[in-house]
Amino acid sequence: MPTLIERLRAAREQWTTVEGHSFLIRRPTAYEAAHLMGRGNDDTAVVRTCVVAWRDVRELDIVPGGDDAPAAFSPDVLVEWAQDRPAIWNHIIGEVTRLVAEYFNAGEAVEKK
């Protein structure tokens, strides 16, 4: 059975798909969001922190001539690869931004009631 911390983290997770690859994004906590997504911060930290798994990514997708087997998830590999794939990079950043905005907007709606 998952621990309490695992369940807490899983509640902030959502799969997103771009170019046939799926990425598990974990919305940062409010504290993390304030530090990760402030003005002037590097989006690399956002991707490295908020993407926690992938599906449908093969070594062949990452490295020309690579193996056709599924690639093991690595935040470092993801950053290096996605920085050269604007559609993937921009989609991930957009999804993290959307999830954070939804979270804060939902909190504001509760406070207004």
Q: Round to whole Å and give the CA distance between 71 and 62.
A: 9
Please state the domain count of the chain.
1
pLDDT at site 111? 57
3-state helix, strand, coil in the chain (%, to 5): 55, 15, 30
pLDDT at site 42? 83
38 contact partners, CB below 8 Å, separation of at least 6: none
pLDDT at site 109? 52
Q: Which helix (H) or strand (E) holds 98?
A: helix 86-112
Domain of 61, in residue numbers: 4-112
Q: Round to whole Å and give the CA distance between 32 and 48.
A: 12
pLDDT at site 112? 57
Q: In the chain, which residues have pLDDT < 50?
A: none
Query: pLDDT (tens digit, 9 = 90+) per residue, 79-96?
Result: 999 999 999 999 999 999
The pTM is what?
0.90
